[in-house]
A and B are shown apart, each in its own frame.
Chain A
């Protein structure tokens, strides 16, 4: 069922409004308010409001009309007797002004304009304009404009009409049949003629710094060489056939003759020219928009490239740093081995040199100093008090005796009653012992740093096979490794029973958990709770969370916490080089996993996700091994002192 035909209403009073309503055979209401009456809209939608504007504010009147009619919004024709209309700007700006008609009008014109408006209203809603005619026969166009008619023709018939008009003056024109790739005009050459393209397609292009650029192809139109019309000048484009074409060449002089002889030529030529230029202009406008969009896209791409470049530079920097560190570690391992061995040789040789038995004061002082822990200042004070009370020695003697490790009153008396240089010898022996002890501690420390560096910088052979590993066992190993650091803390471990085996290199995963546990212990500083959870992920891998209820990692540090050398204890070396979390990340990444951090005061969670054990080459099949396994290869690190002594 076709939609009810749209109606026209006339709004206004006085003779103009009455004449309009009569000509349009339309309902008239005196004021916008009356449009709200149900009777106005019951007969079907209003497609056109003819608003007769007197001296009142035209914008306001139109707005009230549209407000009263609501949806669908009708088109608006403003009818007025005024010659000045300063009060229609808002209506025009809102896109609501369909047209303006000056009263009085030639009888019949208002109806023609109104029908055209209604036809547009219908077309806009997807209908066909014929429905507008209602029961009135369409009025014949009294003064058909040739130009407008031509402009609305399809391009081919417009070209044919131009040719027909030209031939009516010049006689038959020869047609040129052209293959593709024939140039009709050449950029920078003089243009002396036009080409009317009857069939086929032509591309317009220009030479640019980056090669030939096609300006128009679909938008070329049937008329080539338009610039010839504006006087003798060089062609700005090259026109080239892209298909088989049939064209008619016309020199400017021939065209001039045709124009003089037949007015239809002018109309047809103008129409074709306007069409061609507006098609080209539309394409140019679209290109302009595209250019702006591309510029934005380009900027975004540039930013992404910049970020990618920064990432690559950072990667390269880290790789260089890693190689440097590995090189340093390698270079350090030999001297440190020499120091470690040297300390043991010195220690053994000195014992030989000192000779003496168990009760020799000098030897005892040496051995005590070599092994004893540093005494706290408080203990030192009470030892001094006791010794002073028991021996009656001077404060200076007491200080020297205690410093040399002679705290037993009987021994102290032995030293004091011996030869005068005895105390000096005891002190020297204790000094040497203490120095050896410091050297050993320092060498151990450097050795650990070297090992940390080595692991961090030159990780396991990436081609070495991953072993199927029981994850819960690696967690147990880690707890064993850091047991001494967890004193006073509540540690809760929950490993699900159905954990799948994960691929790992011996000892490495335990090292990760140990680092995370140490880190949590550091954060808790002696009291709090650590929770370790391990469960299967949807992807068949394993997620391990190490959570503590410590103060949390400040947001400003969270981004950098996995960087090597990062330590929250400013100036204090932690976990070897402060590499702990960096090493953990390296290991996790080498195992194909991810590590992340979520932290707020009272809840800090490190989450490690490891993928399912890959099957196929590169994986040792078989029963899961425990996580700890044999210690990692220690090439470059000196063997322990015991082995060394046996070799000598």
Chain B
């Protein structure tokens, strides 16, 4: 079972850049691109079919059709995706959108474009760790992509 990071971004170049920056994690976590909300739903279905666990969604706010915020709200409202950590990666969310993302989608983090690659990976690690803690998944197979200190604490608690 792999943890999955979904990158939802309509600009191919930006999507590619996000994936490239997540490359160091890619050996231990499954990174899947999606260009719009229907595409993202297809990824969720694929992930479920493969028996993997959707853990983090990085979504742009501006997307064709359904907006990224709408999608995050949808995820937060569905039982099977309620555990997913939501991160808004955006250059131009207005205040109303952001407030909605926080209040209704339980937004976990906000990454402003342009992002710093190191910071992006730190955010994803932290969110993956949160999800592992929340879902009581065994941290051991995923240690490489988790916050080391917190992950060890989790392991100790589970064994103790």
Contact = CB atoms under 8 A, between A and B. Distances in A.
Contacts, number: 33
A377 B42 CA distance: 11
Given A399-B19, A403-B16, A378 B27 contact: no
Given A378-B35, A381-B43, A395-B31, 11 more contacts: A375-B12, A376-B35, A381-B32, A381-B46, A394-B27, A395-B30, A396-B26, A396-B27, A399-B31, A403-B16, A438-B13
A438 B13 CA distance: 10
Contacts of B19: 399
A377 B33 contact: yes
Interface in A382-396: 394-396
Q: Which of A375, A376, A377 has the most CB of B within 10 A?
A: A377
Given A399-B19, A403-B16, A377 B34 contact: yes
Interface of A: 374-378, 380-381, 394-396, 399, 403, 438
A381 B33 contact: yes
15 contacts: A376-B39, A377-B12, A377-B33, A378-B34, A378-B35, A378-B42, A380-B33, A381-B33, A381-B43, A395-B26, A395-B31, A396-B23, A396-B27, A399-B19, A399-B23
B15 interface: yes
A548 B27 CA distance: 54
Interface of B: 12-13, 15-16, 19, 23, 26-27, 30-35, 39, 42-43, 46
A395 B46 contact: no
A277 B105 CA distance: 89
Contacts of B31: 395, 399
A394 B126 CA distance: 24
If over half of A's interface residues share one DSSP class (helix, strand or loop), that class is named, otherwise mixed; here it is helix
Nearest to A375: B12
B39 A378 contact: yes
Nearest to B12: A374
B23 A377 contact: no
A559 B54 CA distance: 50
B29 to A, nearest CB: 9
Nearest to B42: A378
B36 to A, nearest CB: 8
A396 B19 CA distance: 10
A51 B9 CA distance: 98
Nearest to B23: A396
Contacts of B15: 377
Nearest to A403: B16
Nearest to A434: B13
B3 to A, nearest CB: 13
A396 B34 CA distance: 17
B35 A377 contact: yes
B5 to A, nearest CB: 12
A499 B35 CA distance: 50
A377 B27 contact: no
Contact of B26 (A374, A380, A399): A399
A281 B43 CA distance: 95
A396 B15 CA distance: 15
Nearest to B2: A395
A403 B13 CA distance: 10
Contacts of B23: 396, 399
Contacts of B33: 377, 380-381
A428 to B, nearest CB: 14
8 closest residue pairs by CB, A with B:
A377-B35, A377-B33, A374-B12, A396-B26, A377-B34, A395-B26, A377-B39, A378-B39
A123 to B, nearest CB: 80
Nearest to A382: B46
A429 B12 CA distance: 18
B73 to A, nearest CB: 21
A394 B26 CA distance: 9
Contacts of B12: 374-375, 377
A359 B7 CA distance: 34
A438 B42 CA distance: 29
Nearest to B13: A438
A381 B32 CA distance: 7
Contacts of A394: 27
Contacts of A438: 13
Nearest to B35: A377
A376 B19 CA distance: 14
A377 B19 CA distance: 12
Nearest to A396: B26
A374 B39 CA distance: 16
Q: Which of B15, B27, B35, B46 has the most CB of A within 10 A?
A: B35
A378 B35 CA distance: 8
A395 B27 contact: yes
A524 to B, nearest CB: 17
A394 B24 CA distance: 12
Contacts of A399: 19, 23, 26, 31
Nearest to B43: A381
A434 to B, nearest CB: 9
A372 to B, nearest CB: 11
B58 to A, nearest CB: 13
B60 to A, nearest CB: 12
Contacts of A377: 12, 15, 33-35, 39
Contacts of B27: 394-396
A54 to B, nearest CB: 83
Contacts of B39: 376-378
Nearest to B11: A374
A377 B34 CA distance: 5
A377 B64 CA distance: 14
Contacts of A374: 12
Nearest to A378: B39
Contacts of B35: 376-378
A375 B30 CA distance: 20
Contacts of B46: 381
